[in-house]
């Protein structure tokens, strides 16, 4: 990854001149330590890389540290804020909403906070979705619930109508919670706002259960997904051990990146084969998946397989270009395909197997966040508020090198993080499973 070409500049609506309303007296036990824009977190902490940049006379790329500023741009008594959740459901959405509302209300004294229903549809008059006035009593317990109290939707909406709605309601900060498609939409919305010369801050909170947002080391909901996926692996392992030639097959989320499959495998090391989008594999042949599975059954009498939903798409005759409303190519169902392929393979060989297929995907997506993600979401939501109040715009809040930082939307939108087939994570998976390459040379 080339870090020296990354532009870390954060756009602002203007110079912040208002003393922050979260300032406390110096003797107050809850006085704040404010963050300055000069507080930076290095993008690349590799010493060799830093020495090379120094020798070339280049600056060290660094992100702004997230957190409260001593001076803010918006007057809290006059500010109106909007929240929207877009795309697929994910554990932690309600936690983010709760953290944003509570920090705005109690931290800054903002009283006008609005939730737009069902994603970007909420801004478009023809849908007729109500706007929710968000107050502490509305959000106080929502972290115990799965899904999003604002609902969601997929797909683009007319840009001008979105900006018109923001302008009509005199919105000052728009918080957009969503994945790659949402971050690209946020970029377009922020650009359109600038073209109209409006003073509206656009702050993104990156959401993807797959943990595949570029330049974001961890996205919320991922730890919850791994937690629940390990339970599925335990169940599959127990089922496979309970029958002669038992096979447990689990399909997990991961359209383009296999982070959930790989991490859950390391968390619950009962898995023998892991199939992910980043690593090619063959079905047939002496070193292919089916022959390797047969050898595993001969040796141990049972096997557990984890497959990410985006793996093995090359095996389908009709490579579809059909896309969903978010613009994602519709994937073929690799889980059911593998189930049928495995059963057919052993049937041809007159080998009796007992295969149990588990797909916990929608169960995982709609669950409340676990304790780890609860805390993580609280940090993300509150730092999003601090950024917006300071007048920063066209940015997202991310985790990088163990710090919460401000990233320009341009650094992540339209790009994807994937597992390196030669990296530590995948090498650890190979070591834990012993599966080999599953490719015929």
Q: Strands 395-400 and 403-408: what pairing?
A: antiparallel
d(CA 419, CA 274): 13
Would you say 80 and 172 are in contact if contact means Cβ atoms under 8 Å apart? Answer: yes
210 assigned to active site:
yes
The per-residue b/e assignment along 94-113, b for 16 or more CB within 10 angstroms, e otherwise, is bbbbbbbbbbbbebbebebb
The 10 Å Cβ neighbour count of residue 266 is 17
In the 8-state DSSP scheme, what is residue 107?
A: I
How much is the CA Rg of the chain, to the nearest whole Å? 24
Residue 239 DSSP SS3:
helix
Residue in this structure with the two tokens 């341009």, named with its chain if needed: 410
Q: Hunting for tokens 């040379």 — which residue is that?
A: 441
Catalytic residue among 180, 210, 212, 270: 210
The structure tokens 């944003």 sit at 100
**Nearest CA among 329, 360, 318 for reference residue 229:** 360
How many whole angstroms separate alpha carbon 279 and alpha carbon 31?
50
Whether residue 283 contacts residue 324, with contact meaning beta carbons closer than 8 Å, is answered with no
> Comparing C-alpha atoms, which of 118, 140, 138 is closest to residue 129?
118
User: Is residue 136 classed as helix, strand or coil in its secondary structure?
Assistant: helix
CA separation, residue 105 to residues 13, 113, 251, 313, 429 (Å): 22, 8, 42, 47, 45
- Cα distances (Å, whole numbers) of residue 369 to 5, 164, 308, 326, 365: 35, 34, 21, 24, 10
Q: Determine the straight-line distance between the first and last CA of the chain, rounded to whole angstroms.
A: 28
Q: In terms of DSSP bridges, do strands 80-85 and 173-178 run parallel, antiparallel, or are they unpaired? A: parallel
Q: How many CA atoms within 13 Å lie on the side-chain side of 344?
A: 8
Q: Which residues are catalytic?
A: 210
């Amino acid at each position: 990854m080339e870090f020296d070409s990354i532009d870390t500049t954060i756009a602002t609506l203007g110079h912040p001149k208002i003393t922050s309303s979260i300032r406390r007296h110096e003797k107050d036990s809850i006085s704040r330590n404010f963050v300055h824009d000069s507080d930076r977190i290095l993008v690349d902490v590799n010493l060799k890389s830093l020495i090379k940049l120094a020798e070339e006379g280049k600056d060290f790329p660094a992100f702004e540290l997230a957190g409260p500023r001593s001076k803010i741009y918006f007057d809290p008594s006059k500010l109106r804020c909007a929240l929207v959740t877009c795309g697929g459901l994910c554990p932690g959405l309600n936690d983010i909403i709760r953290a944003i509302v509570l920090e705005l209300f109690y931290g800054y004294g903002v009283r006008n906070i609005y939730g737009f229903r069902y994603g970007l549809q909420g801004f478009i008059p023809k849908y007729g979705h109500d706007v929710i006035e968000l107050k502490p009593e509305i959000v106080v317990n929502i972290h115990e619930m799965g899904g999003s109290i604002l609902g969601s939707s997929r797909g683009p909406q007319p840009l001008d109508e979105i900006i018109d709605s923001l302008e009509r309601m005199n919105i000052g900060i728009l918080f957009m919670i969503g994945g790659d498609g949402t971050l690209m939409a946020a970029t377009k919305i922020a650009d359109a706002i600038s073209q109209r010369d409006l003073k509206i801050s656009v702050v993104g909170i990156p959401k993807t259960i797959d943990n595949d947002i570029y330049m974001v080391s961890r996205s919320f909901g991922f730890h919850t997904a791994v937690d629940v996926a390990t339970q599925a692996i335990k169940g599959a392992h127990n089922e496979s051990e309970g029958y002669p030639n038992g096979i447990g097959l689990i399909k997990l989320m991961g359209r383009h990146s296999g982070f959930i499959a790989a991490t859950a495998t390391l968390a619950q090391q009962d898995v023998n084969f892991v199939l992910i989008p980043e690593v090619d594999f063959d079905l047939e042949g002496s070193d292919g998946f089916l022959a390797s599975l047969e050898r595993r059954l001969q040796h141990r009498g049972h096997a557990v397989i984890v497959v990410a939903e985006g793996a093995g798409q090359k095996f389908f005759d009709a490579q579809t270009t059909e896309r969903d409303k978010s613009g994602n190519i519709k994937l073929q169902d690799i889980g059911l395909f593998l189930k049928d392929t495995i059963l057919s393979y052993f049937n041809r060989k007159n080998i009796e197997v007992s295969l149990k297929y588990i797909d916990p995907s929608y169960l995982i997506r709609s669950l409340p966040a676990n304790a780890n993600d609860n805390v993580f979401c609280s940090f993300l939501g509150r730092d999003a508020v601090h950024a917006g109040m300071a007048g920063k715009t066209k940015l997202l809040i991310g985790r990088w090198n163990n710090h919460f930082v401000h990233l320009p939307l341009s650094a992540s939108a339209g790009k994807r993080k994937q597992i390196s087939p030669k990296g530590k994570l995948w090498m650890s998976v190979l070591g834990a499973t012993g599966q080999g390459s599953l490719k015929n040379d």
